Each structure stands twice: as structure tokens, then as C-alpha cells.
């Protein structure tokens, strides 16, 4: 196999372009010379935007053909109803639309955590991955590790002199932090690199895997604050989740909170690295790296006020 580092410009239809990962993908696609159209709920002020509802994309007025569909779309909360509506059903409609507009390639932003599916949103993502693989289109399924924004929730705590919170002893999990721009470059590169075609692609950022305790020490060093940690027992998360689950039998709102607590526990105890199916252990060395942006540089930029972090509904802290 060979790879084309400078592929001919393609007509690319992007879903999920308003999210931070989607914005990174759009920037990279444009930089690589592709003709990019974004499917959005409301106009982003970009020429060629298509306004529509992702749950019914076929109703949008799309009167042109595309070569590639890129989806960075994901459910906001990960709650069961939201997950199956967006991560699965909406994507099935997007897949149908991709065929209708003549696309021959589909690049999907998924998640590395689907390797160990214990939550509804993971099963929803896997169900669509299977449909995409069986679709006959050339596919690239990108499964990234933890994003910078998901590791930025405690910057203000540390600057205020508060302790950095860790679950267990702070070494239960690890990840290879990945920036939106490096991820975007990787996603855009899937168009011209045939070694990424018809493959599931786990990907992390540059450098070694980092544990939460290491992330905390990095923040303390950058802010000049003395290291101070508070260990949160995982059993506390279990107690909270069980209590919400009991209440959820009588209240849909509490049932949703119980699911969010389950999601929080998952991320508190599972690494965002490649999972060895034989040993059942996460393997940092087997997790590919891409890009050059580092978490240290990101933290420094946020602390200096040069970067704003929009963390959304997946924030744990």
C-alpha cells in the first residue's frame, strides 16, 4: 500500500462541525485544500453551510454531490436516549444520505472507550460502527484517546489554591492527551492515506501516557502552586450511583443522573489507551501517537489566558 500525502481536493460534507473536534477537522480539511461544506443547525457564517436537523438530514436541501462524508457528531450527554438518537439513529440517516449524495468514503470520529463497552453510548457507537463497516463505503473509524478539554477541568481549582482531585491514588488510569488540531489533522489525513482506509484507528497524542497524578503535578508546576492532592475513593462514586439508580426508578431525571454517574465512574477507572484483548490490560506502547501539541503547552496557554476551554456535558469535575 502507498499513501498520498497531497490528495486531489475532495468535496467533503462534515457533520458535527460546531464541536471542538469538528472545528479542528474543518480547519485541517480546508488547509489541505478540500472543498468543505458543514451540515449545521444554524449558520456558522461559512459559505456553503447546509442548515438542517441531524436527526432528519434527508430533509435538508442538498442539491450537490460529495466525495467524502466526515462525522464528528456525538451525543452531548451520553445518556441512553440521547446516545441511541445521535450516536446510532442519526448516524444511520447520515450514512443513507452519504450514499444519496454519491460519497464513496466515510470518516467517523468514534471513541477509544468502545473497546470495553459497559455503557449505552458505547453500545450505540459500536452498533453504528458495524453498520458503517457493512455499508460498502470506504471507511475510516477514528478512536481517539482523551481530549485536552476533558483534562482541563481543574485548572481553576489549582490556581485558586485548591487541591487537585484524583480517584483512588491517581494512578488508576492513563491516557495520551490529544489536541483538537492534531486530531483534526489525523481525520483529514484519512482521505488521502489508503493505509487508513477500511480500518479502525485508535490514536493518541505525542509523548508518553499520563496518569491523573502526573497531570496534577504538571498543573502545579505551571501555576507555581505547591502540590496538593485530594484522593476520592471510587467506592464513593459507587454509593452515589446506586443511590441515584434507586431514585431513578421513580424519577426519569434521577435515572439520567444515575447514568451520568456511571459514565463518570467509567472514566475514573478505565484508561483511554488500546486494550489488549488477550491480557485485558491497557497498553500505552500499543497506542499510536500523532501530532505535536502537548498537554503542558495547552495548560500553559489556558493559564496565560490565550486559550479558552469549552468542556460541554462530559465534564467530570
Strand order of the β-sheet with 11-15 is 50-51, 35-40, 11-15, 68-71, 105-109, 138-144, 199-203
pLDDT of residue 317: 45
Residue 56, pLDDT above cutoff 80: no
pLDDT of residue 252: 85
Tell me the mean pLDDT in the region 219-238.
94
Reading the block at residue 126, the C-alpha cell is 459500536
Residue 309 — very low, low, confident or very high, per pLDDT cuts 50/70/90? Answer: confident
Residue 51 — very low, low, confident or very high, per pLDDT cuts 50/70/90? Answer: confident
Residue 55 — very low, low, confident or very high, per pLDDT cuts 50/70/90? Answer: confident
170: left (phi over 0), alpha (psi -120 to 50) or beta: left
Beta carbons of 180 and 21 less than 8 angstroms apart: yes
Tell me the mean pLDDT in the region 238-257.
88
Give the three-state DSSP class for 128: helix
- Taking the C-alpha atoms of residue 63 and residue 156, their distance in angstroms, rounded to an integer, is 47
Report domain extents, the chain. 11-148+177-203
pLDDT of residue 61: 64
Q: How far is CA 264 from CA 258, 260, 268, 272, 288, in A?
A: 10, 6, 6, 13, 25
- Taking the C-alpha atoms of residue 133 and residue 126, their distance in angstroms, rounded to an integer, is 10
Tell me the mean pLDDT in the region 137-149.
96
Q: Show Cβ contacts of residue 114 under 8 Å, excluding neighbours closer than 6 positions.
A: 122, 125, 126, 129, 143
Beta carbons of 247 and 94 less than 8 angstroms apart: no
Could you tell me which CATH class the domain 11-148+177-203 is placed in? alpha beta
pLDDT of residue 308: 81
Burial class (CB in 10 A: 0-12, 13-18, 19+), 256: middle
- Taking the C-alpha atoms of residue 287 and residue 22, their distance in angstroms, rounded to an integer, is 22
Give the three-state DSSP class for 172: coil
Q: Show Cβ contacts of residue 236 under 8 Å, excluding neighbours closer than 6 positions.
A: none
Q: What pTM, to 2 d.p., does this model score?
A: 0.91
Q: Where in the chain does DSSP place strands (E)?
A: 11-15, 35-40, 50-51, 68-71, 105-109, 138-144, 164-167, 199-203, 229-232, 274-275, 282-283
Amino acid at each position: 500500500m502507498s499513501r498520498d500525502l497531497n490528495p486531489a481536493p475532495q468535496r467533503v460534507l462534515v457533520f458535527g462541525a460546531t464541536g471542538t473536534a469538528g472545528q479542528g477537522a474543518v480547519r485541517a480539511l480546508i488547509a489541505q485544500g478540500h472543498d468543505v461544506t458543514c451540515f449545521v443547525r444554524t449558520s456558522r457564517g461559512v459559505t456553503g453551510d447546509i442548515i438542517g436537523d441531524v436527526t432528519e438530514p434527508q430533509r435538508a436541501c442538498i442539491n450537490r454531490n460529495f466525495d467524502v462524508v466526515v462525522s464528528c457528531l456525538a451525543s452531548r450527554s451520553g445518556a441512553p436516549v440521547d446516545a441511541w438518537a445521535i450516536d446510532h439513529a442519526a448516524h444511520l440517516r447520515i450514512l443513507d444520505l452519504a450514499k444519496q449524495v454519491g460519497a464513496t468514503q466515510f470518516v467517523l470520529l468514534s471513541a477509544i472507550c468502545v473497546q470495553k463497552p459497559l455503557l449505552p453510548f458505547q453500545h450505540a457507537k459500536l452498533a453504528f460502527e458495524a453498520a458503517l463497516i457493512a455499508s460498502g463505503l470506504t471507511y475510516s473509524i477514528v478512536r481517539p484517546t482523551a481530549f485536552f478539554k476533558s483534562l482541563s477541568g481543574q485548572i481553576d481549582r489549582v490556581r485558586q489554591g485548591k487541591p487537585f482531585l484524583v480517584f483512588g491514588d491517581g494512578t488508576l488510569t492513563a491516557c495520551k492527551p490529544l489536541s483538537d488540531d492534531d486530531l483534526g489533522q489525523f481525520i483529514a489525513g484519512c482521505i488521502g492515506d489508503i493505509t487508513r482506509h477500511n480500518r479502525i484507528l485508535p490514536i493518541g497524542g505525542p509523548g508518553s501516557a499520563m496518569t491523573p497524578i502526573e497531570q496534577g503535578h504538571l498543573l502545579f508546576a505551571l501555576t507555581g502552586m505547591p502540590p496538593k492532592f485530594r484522593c476520592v475513593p471510587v467506592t464513593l462514586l459507587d454509593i452515589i450511583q446506586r443511590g441515584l439508580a434507586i431514585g431513578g426508578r421513580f424519577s426519569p431525571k434521577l435515572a439520567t443522573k444515575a447514568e451520568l454517574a456511571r459514565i463518570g465512574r467509567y472514566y475514573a477507572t478505565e484508561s483511554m489507551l488500546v486494550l489488549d484483548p488477550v491480557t485485558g490490560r491497557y497498553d500505552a506502547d500499543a497506542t499510536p501517537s500523532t501530532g505535536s501539541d502537548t498537554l503542558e503547552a495547552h495548560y500553559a496557554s489556558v493559564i496565560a489566558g490565550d486559550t479558552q476551554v469549552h468542556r460541554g456535558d462530559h465534564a467530570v469535575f
